[in-house]
Structure 1
Amino acid sequence: MMILSTILVALVALEHVYILVLEMFMWTTPRAQKAFGTSKQFAQDTKSLAANQGLYNGFLAAGLLWGLLHPNDTTGFQLQLFFLICVGVAAIYGGLTSKKSILLVQGFPAFVAILAVLLANL
């Protein structure tokens, strides 16, 4: 179960690195506009706001990776759980206030990872 939880946490971290790249560096590209359902004008007008959002997603990814790499297993567990819960809360908020698909795309992997981390650390 430990290997599965590690893989799931790493996947959530990688997803947030990808979101960081989309929001910070690719926001005005057709790929990001399609992913976030924005227009060219909206993307241009909100470029700095999106970069800020991307930075926060990077912090979530960094926290998850920190939890995976921490030499103390107990601290690593706590870090993973904390940052996965942060991702889950952000997904719930985003799903309720923006796009419902955020619950599935970001929330579901986070909640599955939370379950796996908890089960691996029983």
Structure 2
Amino acid sequence: MRKISMVFIAAIAALHFYIAWFEIFAWTTRGPKIFTTFPEELFEQTIVLAGNQGIYNAFLAVGLVWSLLIKDRYWSANVATCFLLFVAAAGLFGAATASPSILFVQTVPAAIALVFSYLGRKSDS
């Protein structure tokens, strides 16, 4: 179970590195293609806001990677749980305020990783 949770955590970290790249560096070029319901003129006006959001997504990704590098399994699981809960909360907020699909992109994978992390912790004891 631990290896499965680590795969999920790594995938979620990769996703958040991509989101960070997208929001920091490609907001005006890729944004209109992804967020088709937003008026196109909004992207240039919100470039600084998107970049700020991207930094937070980078922090989430770095925290998840950090959890994978911690040798002590107990603390690795604790740090992973903390950052997965941050991802899930961000996904819930994004689903409520921006797009319902964010729930399936962020919250559901984080919840699955939390379950596998919990099961992996139980099998260690």
Pick the TM interval, shorter chain. Answer: over 0.9
Q: How does 1:55-94 map to 2 (within 5 A)?
A: 55-94=55-94
Q: For 1:110 and 1:36, how far apart are their aligned partners in 2?
A: 22
Note the alpha carbon deviations across 1:4-46, whole angstroms, 9 max, x for none: 11100000100000000100000000x2222233343111000
Q: For 2:34 and 2:13, how far apart are their aligned partners in 1?
A: 18
Q: For 1:27 and 1:96, how far apart are their aligned partners in 2?
A: 21
Aligned partner of 1:22 in structure 2 is 22
Structure 2: stretches of 5+ with no match in the other structure:
none
Residue type of the alignment partner of 1:28: T
Percent of paired sites with the same residue: 38
Q: CA deviation at 1:86?
A: 0.5
Question: For 2:71, what is the secondary structure of its paired residue?
Answer: coil
Residue type of the alignment partner of 1:35: I
Q: How does 1:28-39 map to 2 (within 5 A)?
A: 28-29=28-29, 31-37=30-36, 38-39=38-39
Note if 1:12 corresponds to 2:12.
yes
Question: For 1:71, what is the secondary structure of its paired residue?
Answer: coil
Q: For 1:22 and 1:120, how far apart are their aligned partners in 2?
A: 32
Q: For 1:80 and 1:28, how far apart are their aligned partners in 2?
A: 32
Question: For 2:28, what is the secondary structure of its paired residue?
Answer: coil
TM-score by length of 2: 0.92
Note if 1:105 corresponds to 2:105.
yes
Note the alpha carbon deviations across 1:69-105, whole angstroms, 9 max, x for none: 0122211110000000010011111111111111011
